[in-house]
Every structure is written in structure tokens, then in C-alpha cells.
């Protein structure tokens, strides 16, 4: 990749809801790889979660925007929300590259996702268009991961970098469960996002996609 190009990280996810684990991972990636900005991309219709009910697109976009609004180097993209049909990462990266010449993209993902990447739609096209930044915790099977990285580099000529990540015991699933149980989720996600959730009575009952 051209060292003179702008470097942008892509932080995708359902963000149902977005929490500090997402924000800390994005900040870590930005500092570790000297990225200029991080683009948060809420998924539209996540095809790998078709059997799961996901909060409406508009509310997930609102929460993401609220969570990152105080960081000038974090930006929101509705590229997947605006796209018809299922959300595929390779399409997102290809479209971003088409409209942003002179930008190198870095796709942030977890080690578990890298191990399953060949089950994704057109993984070869995704790996061709960007560098994969793989967040790895201390409890990860490093030997298995290294084998997968070596395999993907050989087969797809992928560019893959390891992003050391602290274990942060926060998950969107846990947050949703705690809210349903009437428990406090303070310190797990930004106060402004919590206020939005309370104002709109989110996760207190079943919420589905639009």
C-alpha cells in the first residue's frame, strides 16, 4: 500500500447497542496502525444473523452517531444501511474504495471472524481490497490463528496484521439482557447512548428490524 495514502479503519458491526468495547477497539487500532480516521459502519441486514432479531436500522444508526460524536476522528457511514438486501463486507469495501481513491482501508475484525472468513460472501474480494486488522486477546488460540493467517496469505495473498487487544468483558447481548432485567448498564456504554435507550424504551421488549 502507498505510504502517502490516507489510512482509514473500518469498524463494522450490528451495534445493537454500540458499547465501550467497540470504541476502545477502534481507538486501539487507530493508534497502533497510525490510522487517520475510523469509519463506523452499522450493518444493514446482517446475513449471518438472519435468524436473530435486530433493532431497527434507524435506532442503531442513532446510537452509533451519539457514541462517536465527541471524537473528530471517528465517523459514521450508512453505506450498509442504505443498501438494499443483505450486507456483505466485500461490497462495502469495494464501494468505499470506488468513492475514495487514494485511501488505504483497514478492516477491523476479531480473531474468531478471521477463522470463519471463508464462510463469508466473496472473501477473496474483501482480502484483495484491504488490510485485515485482527484483534487478538491473550486467551486466543495463537497457534491456530497463526496457521489460519499463513493459509490466507498463501491462498489469497491477503495482508493481515495482528492487533493486540485487551479482554473487555462487555457484549451487546449482555447489555440487552441486563436492560431487560432492569439492571444498570452504567460504565458499559456512553451515558448519552444509555439516555437514548431509556428515552426510547429500547430492549425492554422485543424490537425487530424495520
206 falls within a domain: no
- The domain in which residue 145 lies consists of 6-169
What value does the mean pLDDT of the chain take?
92
75 falls within a domain: yes
198 falls within a domain: no
Distance CA 37, CA 10 (A): 9
98 falls within a domain: yes
164 falls within a domain: yes
Q: What is the DSSP string of 93-136?
A: HHHHHHHSTTEEEEEEEEHHHHHTGGGSSSHHHHHHHSEEEEEE
Q: Is 207's pLDDT higher than 50?
A: no
139 falls within a domain: yes
Distance CA 106, CA 7 (A): 7
pLDDT higher at 46 or 13 = 13
175 falls within a domain: no
Helix (H) or strand (E) holding 68: helix 57-68
Q: Count how many domains the chain has.
A: 1
Q: Is 3's pLDDT higher than 70?
A: no
Per-residue confidence (pLDDT) for residue 1, from 0 to 100: 60
Helix (H) or strand (E) holding 7: strand 6-13
Give tens-digit pLDDT for 33-83: 999 999 999 998 766 555 468 899 999 999 999 999 999 999 999 999 999
Per-residue confidence (pLDDT) for residue 197, from 0 to 100: 98
Q: For the whole model, what pTM was predicted?
A: 0.92
176 falls within a domain: no
Distance CA 25, CA 39 (A): 12
The domain that holds 145 is classified in CATH as 3.40.50.620
Q: Is 174's pLDDT higher than 70?
A: yes
pLDDT higher at 7 or 4 = 7
Amino acid at each position: 500500500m502507498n505510504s502517502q495514502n490516507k489510512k482509514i479503519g473500518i469498524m463494522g458491526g450490528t451495534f445493537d447497542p454500540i458499547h465501550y468495547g467497540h470504541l476502545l477497539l477502534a481507538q486501539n487500532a487507530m493508534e497502533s496502525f497510525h490510522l487517520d480516521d475510523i469509519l463506523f459502519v452499522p450493518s444493514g441486514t446482517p446475513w449471518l444473523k438472519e435468524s436473530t432479531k435486530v433493532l431497527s436500522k434507524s435506532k442503531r444508526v442513532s446510537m452509533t452517531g451519539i457514541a462517536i460524536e465527541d471524537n473528530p476522528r471517528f465517523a459514521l457511514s450508512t453505506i450498509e444501511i442504505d443498501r438494499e438486501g443483505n450486507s456483505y463486507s466485500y461490497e462495502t469495501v469495494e464501494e468505499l474504495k470506488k468513492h475514495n481513491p487514494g485511501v488505504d482501508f483497514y478492516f477491523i475484525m476479531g480473531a474468531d471472524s478471521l477463522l470463519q472468513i471463508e464462510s463469508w460472501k466473496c472473501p477473496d474480494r474483501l482480502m484483495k481490497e484491504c488490510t485485515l486488522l485482527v484483534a487478538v486477546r491473550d486467551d486466543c488460540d495463537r497457534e491456530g490463528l497463526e496457521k489460519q493467517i499463513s493459509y490466507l496469505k498463501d491462498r489469497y495473498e491477503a495482508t493481515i496484521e495482528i492487533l493486540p487487544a485487551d479482554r473487555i468483558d462487555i457484549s451487546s447481548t449482555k447489555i440487552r439482557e441486563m436492560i431487560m432485567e432492569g439492571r444498570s448498564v452504567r460504565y458499559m456504554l456512553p451515558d448519552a447512548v444509555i439516555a437514548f435507550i431509556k428515552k426510547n424504551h429500547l430492549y425492554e421488549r422485543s424490537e425487530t428490524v424495520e
